[in-house]
Structure 1
Amino acid sequence: MGRYREDDRDYSPFEDDYRGFDVREDDSARGPLILALAIGVLLVFGAVVWNTYRQGIRDNGAGIPSVIADKQPYKRAPEDREGVAIPDTDKRFYDQMDDSERPIMTESQVAELENAEDGLLQGGPPIELRPGREGAEPDDDQVRALADLESMPEDEEEPLRVVPATPAAPLPAPQVQRKPVSAAPEFAFSNGGAFLVQLAAFRSQEAAESAWTELNRKKPELFGSATKHIQRADLGAKGVFYRLRVGSFADRADASEFCDAVKAAGDNCIVVTG
């Protein structure tokens, strides 16, 4: 439909932009539903918390479990042994050796035992502790003599006799027995002999000399008349050693005799050829 104007008036159809509108939903009906759901969730949560709390109290209050022994015996003999014969089960000596059995006392034995215990507790008849009467004579000779001594006046006491002391004869001095000094053993040393006695081996000649001096000081009876021999020996990879030897001896028997004496004195040695 076209527009037309008349008298500056617009007679076109009226078109209003707000002619149509949507009807909005009413939110007032959902409020109680949300509140009910919130209350339900709170109730469920509270129920869960309460149930958990009650279970914790019940578990903690139970305490330590106690183990009660069975009233029935752990082992017992079967009534039916199924034909198995156990020998010597009817012997009476098993009962005789059992310490659990005790002889039964009769009434008369019990009465005698009680009377004996009463006598021990009473301690026997009472003892008279009152002082003796005047005029009673003591029965013991020693008591009578003591009474006579006390009744004796002081002027009648027998004077003591003084006996002069005699000087004791001097004891003879004990004789000291001196041990006989054993003579130094004589060994068959020989100049230019073929046998020597080796005492030790040292890394240096000074150590060998010092050892020989110490041996002469401690055991002069062995080494006083011996001749010292220090031999240098080069053993290659093992090094150089200085052998301390004494001698010499004409035969091996004389050298062995001297070596045995050295061993008896506490040292060590070997017989070698010079």
Structure 2
Amino acid sequence: MTDIPVPSYRMRPSHGGGPPWRMIAVGGGLAAMLVAGGAIAWGLSRGGARTVPLIEADARPFKVRPDDPGGLRVPNQDELIFERSRGSTAQPPPARLAPEPEAPRIDALRAQVAQPPPVAAPAPSAPARAPAAEAPPQAAPAPAPATAPAAAPPARVAPAPNGAIRIQLGALTSEEAARAEWDRLARRHPDLLGAFRPQVVRFEREGQPPLFRLRTGGFADIASAREYCERLRAERIPCLVVR
């Protein structure tokens, strides 16, 4: 053994190089202090006096008259029928009573009734007239021209036996509406639709409500169906030939 003194820090045993716990403890304390200070500052800022927001109505006008309102232009549309006093201080004339009704003169009426009526002078006699000359014989009136016979009413259209061609008169939103439309057309045009019978066909549409097609038929060929449709269109009834 030697007598050389050894520093005390060299005599401390080594623990294998672990983490510096003292530095970790100091850093954790500083972080906790920062968090606590931030929480206190936030609480103080939230606890101060605050104003309540005031909601006001919109100051802009609700309705604005356009410069050009459009629409139908009528002559003298801005003139007033009765003139109104616009700030005038003139007073209206005072009202006046109507004059009293005229009273009958009783004395004049009695004197007029008491007087005798005047006697009318006899009328002079008319001179005798000479016998009228014999009128010359007149020619016999010419016979009236014969009137043309009245046009015969159009023949009533009827379906052909075993006719397979049909026509369509419209497409409505319900079966009741389709049958009501047929009744209305048949009452107005019995000569065209009186002999036919209605046929209501349901038509499905994707994503939309169905339609009900109003049809009738019984035509021998397409030509006769087209001719019939022309007669219906002349009466302003829609018509389409269905093959």
Both structures adopt the same fold (TM-score exceeding 0.5): no
Name which structure has the greater RCO, CA cutoff 8 Å, separation 6+: 2
Structure 2 length normalisation: TM-score?
A: 0.38
Structure 1 length normalisation: TM-score?
A: 0.34
Structure whose CA Rg is larger: 1
